């Protein structure tokens, strides 16, 4: 270990001699002469979660403790701060290759003295810029592959909902400034912040231009992206003002939270910003006066979801905040890309105007995979920008490409949904986004196995936000409670030989209630329960064999129907309210359920 960094430096020199580029964790705008495969990953340091009380953690930044840690690792360790999760952020004087940091993290983890040790990676905006201006906003208005925003605006434009944009900050563009509220700069590095200081209350974007190899690895020079301003404009550029573009939710509030600067941003800064934006507390940072309802993360890096990210996301969800995340532009499975692969987020792929999965060059295309939730327009997206190549210049409008551009379309629609129904949970929002998505076009390279449940549909999602609906979930042997489903989707499993053990159901957006009971092996029919109570048993290894469901205070013309998937028989017929779905007296396990409202239930 004493020679680890020396060996790394020698290796880097050899790579340079061989003209092999080494850069950041996530593809940002590059020339086509720099294919993604040539880039290695760099990190700032480590994130260490100690097995200690908060009082005991204070000693870990002391000189003696750092000296001991330095001796253990064989390199000098510097304390930077504690993050919102009370993990210690440490550095090694300068950024290091992720390969090196991963070895250091493994060395500490193997001692058993820490809850976890993770690499504090660099993350980047998920865009692939395109200098050509398209002159229209097909992503909003195209009825075949756009989000059909005009029909959504018949319902609302997102007023009184706050969307946090965790990005490069913002410019006070004339077509955006009226919707900006509050904000904070979470970039802790003065160099990366490009503003001669660390964290502060100024979320304005000073520019993120870099000269060739300025970040400490081999890369080309690039102009300032003004990425956060572009993303914010897609969400909430001012509408009905007679100029420029219009946002998806053009009356929503934008909370700008700066987490990306020159050379990107770090896991620790982004995680702290997620907590703060959602209304949580971060040491040394003032309370957020404008807690977000939605968080847009048009950023990411090539790694699985870290504990640091997942903890921050869990805190935000516990605060009732929906997180919408770009899938990434590497043309790879999103499972290896974070934070889009984290649990509890809406992961967004990109499609083009023809409805195909977006491909921008030989090395850049939308990520894909089973963790994608929905696809949205991400090619040739016109939005607010700034003309400055280094520092700020004049307001302008430019079309960009990337999953970064797809994601704010979804965040804007979520804002409209929450204006319609403010009480919707993050899970309920995600279900409605997915359930309302429109089918991919015939012959499209997008399908439900690689681009999510379909193409984002604004009026459909907004309509579901306020329409009566059934939500339900199944408790399954060896799996426990699965995710909630709604309106005819499958709760439980099929083809896995797993018994369904319990059922829980809710009615949304209605004065009606929903009641149900289960026929359980060895027990028979249980008493009826309603509105969120549990029918069946959990952790008793007893199978549900049949269910009955009915509406309470049923509206005239409204009913419920449902069906059971039974071992050895598959899906049985749909049965009406009060009928038996499943079998009794045949010792057959019920494995899954589908239920839906029928008739006029509004």
Residue 503: which residues within 8 A CB-CB, separation 6 or more? 472, 473, 474, 475, 491, 516, 518, 534, 535, 536, 544, 547, 593
Among 83, 167, 185, 293, the active-site one is: 167
Q: Which of 383, 230, 355 is nearest to 298 (CA)?
A: 230
Side-chain half-sphere CA neighbours of 202 within 13 A: 10
C-alpha 408/C-alpha 411 separation (Å) is 5
C-alpha 465/C-alpha 457 separation (Å) is 12
Among 79, 173, 219, 227, the active-site one is: 227
Rg (CA), the chain: 25
CA distances (Å), 178 to each of 174, 407, 481, in order?
A: 8, 22, 44
Q: Are 290 and 161 in contact (CB under 8 A)?
A: no
Q: Is 167 a catalytic residue?
A: yes
Q: Looking only at Cα atoms, what is the longest distance across the chain?
A: 78
β-strands 500-508, 575-576: how paired? Answer: unpaired
β-strands 374-377, 381-386: how paired? Answer: unpaired
Secondary structure of 12-36 as H, E, C letters: HHHHHHCCCCCCCCCCCCCCCCCCH
Q: Which of 409, 476, 506, 467 is nearest to 600 (CA)?
A: 467
Q: Are 157 and 252 in contact (CB under 8 A)?
A: yes
Q: Which of 562, 539, 538, 558 is nearest to 549 (CA)?
A: 562
> What DSSP assignment string belongs to 181-230?
---EE----HHHHTSSSSSBS--B-----B-TTTTSSS---B----HHHH
Give me 325's structure tokens. Answer: 């995340």
Q: Are 523 and 517 in contact (CB under 8 A)?
A: no
CB atoms within 10 A of CB 80: 18
CB atoms within 10 A of CB 250: 25
Give me 158's structure tokens. Answer: 């997102």
Q: Is 79 left (phi over 0), alpha (psi -120 to 50) or beta?
A: beta
Among 218, 224, 358, 404, the active-site one is: 404
Side-chain half-sphere CA neighbours of 423 within 13 A: 3
Q: Is 227 a catalytic residue?
A: yes
Torsion 448-449-455-461 (CA) sign:
positive
Q: Is 355 left (phi over 0), alpha (psi -120 to 50) or beta?
A: left
Q: Is 457 a catalytic residue?
A: no
- At CB < 8 A and 24+ separation, what contacts does 287-290 make? 288/182, 288/184, 288/255, 289/182, 290/162, 290/181, 290/182, 290/253, 290/255
- The kind and range of the H/E element at 42 are strand 42-50
Give me 236's structure tokens. Answer: 């909430």
What are the catalytic residues?
A: 167, 227, 404
């Amino acid at each position: 270990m004493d020679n680890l960094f020396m060996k790394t430096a020698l290796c880097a020199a050899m790579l340079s001699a061989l003209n092999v580029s080494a850069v950041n964790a996530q593809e940002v705008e590059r020339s086509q002469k720099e294919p993604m495969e040539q880039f290695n990953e760099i990190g700032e340091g480590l994130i260490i979660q100690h097995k200690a009380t908060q009082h005991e953690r204070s000693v870990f930044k002391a000189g003696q403790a750092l000296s001991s840690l330095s001796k253990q690792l064989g390199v000098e360790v510097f304390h930077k701060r504690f993050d919102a999760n009370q993990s210690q952020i440490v550095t090694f004087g300068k950024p290091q290759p992720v390969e090196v940091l991963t070895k250091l993290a493994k060395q500490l983890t193997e001692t058993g003295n820490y809850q976890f040790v993770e690499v504090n990676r660099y993350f980047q905006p998920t865009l692939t810029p395109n200098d050509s201006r398209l002159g229209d906003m097909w992503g909003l208005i195209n009825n075949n592959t756009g989000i059909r925003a005009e029909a959504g605006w018949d319902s609302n434009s997102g007023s009184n909902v706050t969307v946090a944009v965790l990005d490069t900050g913002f410019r006070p563009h004339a077509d955006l400034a009226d919707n900006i509220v509050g904000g904070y700069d979470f970039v802790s590095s003065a160099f990366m912040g490009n503003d001669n200081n660390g964290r502060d209350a100024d979320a304005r974007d000073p520019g993120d231009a870099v000269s060739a190899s300025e970040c400490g690895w081999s890369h080309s020079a690039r102009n300032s992206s003004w990425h956060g301003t572009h993303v914010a404009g897609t969400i909430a550029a001012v509408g009905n003002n007679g100029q420029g573009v219009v946002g998806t939710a053009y009356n929503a509030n934008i909370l700008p939270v700066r987490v990306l600067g020159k050379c990107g941003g770090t896991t620790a800064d982004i995680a702290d910003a997620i907590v703060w934006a959602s209304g949580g507390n971060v040491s040394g940072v003032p309370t957020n006066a404008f807690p977000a309802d939605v968080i847009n993360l048009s950023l990411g890096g090539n790694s699985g979801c870290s504990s640091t990210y997942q903890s921050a996301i869990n805190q935000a969800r516990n605060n009732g905040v929906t997180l919408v995340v770009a899938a990434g532009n590497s043309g790879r499975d999103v499972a290896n890309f974070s934070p889009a692969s984290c649990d509890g987020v809406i992961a967004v792929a990109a499609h083009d105007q023809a409805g195909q999965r977006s491909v921008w060059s030989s090395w850049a295309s939308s990520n894909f995979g089973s963790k994608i939730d929905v696809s949205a327009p991400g090619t040739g997206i016109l939005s607010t920008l700034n003309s400055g190549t280094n520092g700020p210049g004049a307001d302008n409008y430019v079309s960009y490409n990337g999953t970064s551009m797809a994601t704010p379309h979804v965040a804007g629609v979520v804002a409209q949904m929450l204006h319609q129904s403010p009480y919707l949970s993050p899970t309920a929002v995600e279900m409605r986004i997915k359930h309302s998505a429109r089918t991919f076009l015939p012959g499209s390279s997008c399908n439900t196995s690689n681009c999510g449940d379909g193409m984002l549909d604004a009026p459909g999602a907004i309509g579901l936000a306020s329409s009566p609906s059934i939500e339900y979930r199944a408790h399954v042997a060896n799996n426990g409670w699965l995710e909630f489903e709604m309106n005819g989707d499958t709760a439980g499993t099929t083809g896995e030989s797993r018994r369904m053990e319990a059922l829980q159901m809710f009615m949304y957006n209605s004065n009606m209630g929903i009641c149900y009971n289960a026929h359980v092996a060895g027990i028979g029919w249980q008493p009826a329960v309603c509105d969120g109570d549990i029918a069946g048993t959990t952790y008793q290894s007893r199978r549900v064999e049949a269910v009955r469901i009915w509406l309470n205070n049923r509206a005239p013309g409204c009913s419920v129907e449902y069906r059971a998937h039974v071992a050895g028989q598959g899906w049985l017929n749909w049965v009406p309210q009060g009928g038996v779905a499943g079998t009794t007296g045949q010792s057959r396990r019920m494995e899954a359920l589908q239920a839906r409202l029928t008739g006029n239930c509004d």
